[in-house]
Structure 1
């Protein structure tokens, strides 16, 4: 049968009698400790153990230890009834349990500071905390170094790109039939393509960086045919060229072009007309 005991009210004789089982436990403990019993446990007298109860209700305040003042068992005298603190006499793993009851609807918070009994654990824990902080600092430093490394790689790539002067030389692998005024002449026979700016699949050169570029082109009209062509910068006409009628007539253009990164230059076919004299250089 259970009965509530209010905090702040001392235990009566009635209550003590109802908890006489504690005395029975003490008697059993004495019997077990007797060397004449059949139990042959080698560490029964050396293992620290204690059991203590509260004989009078206590009014407790924050961060104050509750003193269980009536000792039932206290092997190795680890428990102090005046302070309510157990001090471990031996190094090892301990099991603790407690039962606390409050009264009059008040809230009672309890904290177990078992690890406070092991100062060596605190030392190790402080070392672990310090190592974790060092590890965090190292991670921050590693992240900063990785960012610096990425920035250096970009800078090195830019330096290498500046050291490589773009240049290309390409020819027609076979004669081209020009029937479309918008057809780009694709010089597919690449001999040199330093920097990879020229695309032999499209016939277009794309500037990899800003600069002043020089382009030259030679066009020969087969069988004495007139050939009109032009050099474009992006989608705009830059200069025209013309291969005159004759058995072995050829035409060439040579130009300087200011380009920004991403600008495109290419040769395209054009119909001949009255504008032969414009854009000639």
Structure 2
């Protein structure tokens, strides 16, 4: 009985930690966007948008999964629910962000996989793997990766399944996120 209680408590703690990390990451990204945004719209509980700031040549995008999806081997993840797309550089049909200006960008990816299988996602730039986001199997296996990248105008960045076999991604609380923001033009 002690082992089962201990195991359940551990699962609850892991779930709460995963929820906290996801919430903190989204909160930090929201703050960053507000500082460097052309026409950032904040979508609250009501779903209505309001303009928060305006800056020339600002770029910011944030997209999540609206439902559980299965991604084929080496397939690009298409984050279908776009929260922000200032500058229109993220294409939800392809899942690809194209840099409109040469500059330094922050690119982030968070991942929540199925509880039964681990998942590796690659952060890709122009066909080259830059980094891996790993989510282990188990209760609420959540992870995230953030990179600062020098991108040239026209460079393409996307997230893809690392494996040659399919992967299951969950939408639980918008944990699967792909986002980016232009920090400064060069």
Normalising by structure 1, we get a TM-score of 0.38
Q: Which has the higher helix share?
A: 1
1:167 pairs, out of 54, 60, 82, with 60
Distance in 1 between the 2:101 and 2:90 partners? 13
Runs of 4+ displaced beyond 2 Å: none
SS in 2 for 1:223: coil
Which deviations, in whole Å up to 9, do the C-alpha atoms of 1:86-139 show, x marking residues without a partner? xxxxxxxxxxxxxxxxxxxxxxxxxxxxxxxxxxxxxxxxxxxxxxxxxxxxxx
Count of equivalent residues = 110
Distance in 1 between the 2:97 and 2:83 partners? 14
Larger Rg: 1
Normalising by structure 2, we get a TM-score of 0.57
Q: Which has the higher strand share?
A: 2
The answer to whether the 8 Å contact 2:114/2:137 transfers is no
2:119 pairs, out of 227, 235, 242, with 227
The answer to whether the 8 Å contact 1:224/1:249 transfers is no
User: Partner of 1:183 in structure 2?
Assistant: 75
- How far off is 1:247 after superposition? 1.3
User: Partner of 1:268 in structure 2?
Assistant: 160
- How far off is 1:223 after superposition? 2.4
1:197 pairs, out of 66, 89, 95, with 89
**Stretches of structure 1 lacking an aligned partner (at least 5 in a row):** 1-161, 273-281
The answer to whether the 8 Å contact 1:164/1:194 transfers is no
- How far off is 1:181 after superposition? 2.1
Coordinate RMSD, CA, aligned:
1.4
SS in 2 for 1:239: strand
Distance in 2 between the 1:251 and 1:238 partners? 16
The answer to whether the 8 Å contact 1:232/1:268 transfers is yes
The answer to whether the 8 Å contact 1:224/1:248 transfers is no
Distance in 2 between the 1:222 and 1:271 partners? 15
User: Partner of 1:244 in structure 2?
Assistant: 136
- How far off is 1:224 after superposition? 3.4
Structure 1 segment 49-198 matched on structure 2, within 5 A: 163-178=56-71, 180-198=72-90
User: Partner of 1:253 in structure 2?
Assistant: 145
